[in-house]
A and B are shown apart, each in its own frame.
Chain A
Amino acid sequence: MPDHVTDVTDPGTSLPGSVTSVPRHSPTLRKLRRAGVPALAMTPFFLYTILGLGIPTITVVDLAFRTSSGKFTLANLHAATTGVYRLGFESSIKMAVLTSVIPGILGVILAYAIQTGRSGVMRRLVATASGVLANFGGVNLTFMFLAAYGSQGTITLWLHAIGINPYSHGLRLQTFWGVSFVYMYFQIPLMVLVITPALSGLRPSWREAAQNMGASSWRYWRHVGIPVLLPSILGGMLLLFGSSFAAYATAEALTGGIIALAPIQIGDLVNGNVISGQQNLGYAIGFGMLVVLAVTMVLYGLVRRRASKWLR
């Protein structure tokens, strides 16, 4: 019996019978297997992401600094930050701020209204609807909005009937404000999705404690609610900023590519509407967008770390 015990704890030293299995598991082979199998198993994933994600991204950054003949240049970057392309960048950022701050606030209000409502059915319905609507952007959404608010849209005609003609005031869907209006349709639900967990992290006991100490509702929000929620709200707005800043399909389908936004301009340049010598200008604009998005994500990381302090 003791022999068996040593066999288990120290294989291959006491009993000659088990020695035969040792060569298969020699230390070097085992080490090789230990490192080799995981490396082999992860190869397809890493190879795929390097080829499909790494190389295209590096290409954008690389070509942003090259002339069409391949020499290093800063001319593309200069062109991308002046004139009409600078305007594109500015209105892209303006629109992204607009469609992150306003839907951000509206999303919080909507999420709070649902969260504090007693209807469980309503809460579930809105949760499902938000999950669906947040993914609604793109071509289909555009045409639904055209059917509603286009020049012959149902709601436009309703407004006509009561004597309001938004189109005569320049309020058209194909403008900066029109595109922003459409973006809100997927931005508000996105904010509701992002902020609901934070709202449910607000403990009722905090409110009760504040009330016990005689705080009004305003003071509770001013000193407890908003400070606790603020990092989460800012984080949600940064996500919305990124989503709006990167959006292409909705604006392109809505305006036919005439609106001056950075992604639309890249699309025009890639589509071949290029003036000679500007082949790589699209990549320079892309590089600029990547820089803006990288900053956004760094800020998001910082804000999220702060948000997890109170809400978990």
Chain B
Amino acid sequence: MASIGAAMSAEFSMENALGPQIPVSRRRPRFRTWRLIVMLLAGAYFLLPIYAGLKFALENDAGHFSFFAVKALPTEPGFGAAFWLSMRLSLVTVVLSMILMVPTTIYVHLRLPKVRRVVEFITILPIVIPPIILITGVLGSYPLWLKSSPYLLSLTYVILAMPFVYRSLDAGLSSIDLKTLVEASRSLGGSMFATMRRVILPNLRPALLSAMVLTLALVLGEFTMASLDLWETIPVWIVNFQQQDGHVTVAASMLGLIGSWVLLTLIVSLDRSQSRRSLRKTGGL
């Protein structure tokens, strides 16, 4: 305690010399223990369940370390079908979402800056309107032939993913000098299609990737809509299977969490490299 206090008072001697005598050096050490307690409590709350989940997933019924639950998972009844359905849904959602949102966002940036506020407002709505309400509205209004297809989920997932997709693309487009790039390409005789394919999209790669990964993570973890639309995607399967074997259920959940951890960490680091690039270009803030 004394050594910390000494270090702190040395550090804050400047402040003390400038102003009236404030008990800064007495206060600071207490503040540090307070921070330590906060970090320890937060660490316990956030890390203990992860530890417990991993331990439970890697245990057999006798409580010994074992990979049996992870190995058994692919062969459990219904898992294969659920996995395949989730994969198809996420592929269709990602493709649809990109086809719809990439040209729209680029066009708004390039030609219709006035519409940007409107698009921004519309794309924030799926965050405000809960999925549970959206899916009841969909089930109450869509024709039967559409409701009997699992791809109805993909259609609504495009809406759910819109806030994330639009924001990623918007940030990506704001960080490049879109207008100059397009004018340069056009003046060199590039068609609009060639400009898009060879100039805009390569410059937009980090934003595209992060939009796609966010959509993927959303579709793979979505439970509300899939369960109410009565399609057994992976999360719905996990809930339905929980009575059969707790270890397998927890193993599937932990794999899901690790998967989304990897995907989302990838995005955060992508975002960081992108913002660093745009910062470098403008020479700081």
Contact = CB atoms under 8 A, between A and B. Distances in A.
Interface of A: 38, 41-42, 44-45, 48-49, 52-53, 55-60, 63, 109-110, 113-114, 116-117, 127-129, 131-133, 135-136, 138-149, 152-155, 184-185, 188, 208, 211-212, 214, 216-217, 242, 245-249, 252-253, 263, 266-267, 270-271, 282-283, 286, 289-290, 293-294, 297
Nearest to B262: A132
Interface of B: 15, 18-20, 22, 24, 27, 34-35, 38-39, 42, 45-46, 48-53, 55-57, 100-101, 103-104, 107-108, 111-112, 115, 119, 122, 125-141, 155-156, 158-159, 162, 217, 221-224, 227-228, 235, 238-239, 242, 246, 249-250, 252-254, 256-257, 260-261, 264-265, 267-269
A267 B228 contact: yes
A185 B53 CA distance: 14
- Nearest first, the 9 A-B pairs at minimum CB distance are A56-B137, A246-B130, A148-B52, A147-B56, A144-B53, A143-B253, A154-B52, A249-B223, A59-B141
Contact of A60 (B136, B222, B253): B136
B268 A132 contact: yes
Contact of B103 (A41, A188, A297): A41
Contacts of B238: 139-140, 143, 253
B129 A110 contact: no
A152 B249 CA distance: 14
A44 B38 contact: no
Nearest to B105: A45
Most buried by B among A131, A147, A270: A147
A113 B35 contact: yes
B128 A293 contact: yes
A81 B277 CA distance: 53
Given A49-B159, A283-B140, A293 B264 contact: no
B250 A143 contact: yes
B253 A42 contact: no
Contacts of A253: 223, 238-239
Contacts, number: 228
A110 B34 CA distance: 11
Contact of B51 (A154, A246, A248): A154
A119 to B, nearest CB: 10
A109 B37 CA distance: 11
A141 B101 CA distance: 30
B22 A214 contact: yes
Contact of B137 (A57, A133, A211): A57
Contacts of B139: 270
A145 B51 CA distance: 10
A213 B176 CA distance: 46
Contacts of B249: 143
B76 to A, nearest CB: 15
A48 B256 contact: no
Given A49-B159, A135-B217, A263-B132, 10 more contacts: A57-B129, A63-B140, A114-B39, A132-B268, A141-B257, A143-B249, A144-B49, A212-B19, A248-B131, A267-B224
B129 to A, nearest CB: 6
Nearest to A265: B132
Nearest to B134: A56
A42 B104 CA distance: 6
Nearest to B16: A211
A145 B46 contact: no
Nearest to A114: B39
A227 B38 CA distance: 23
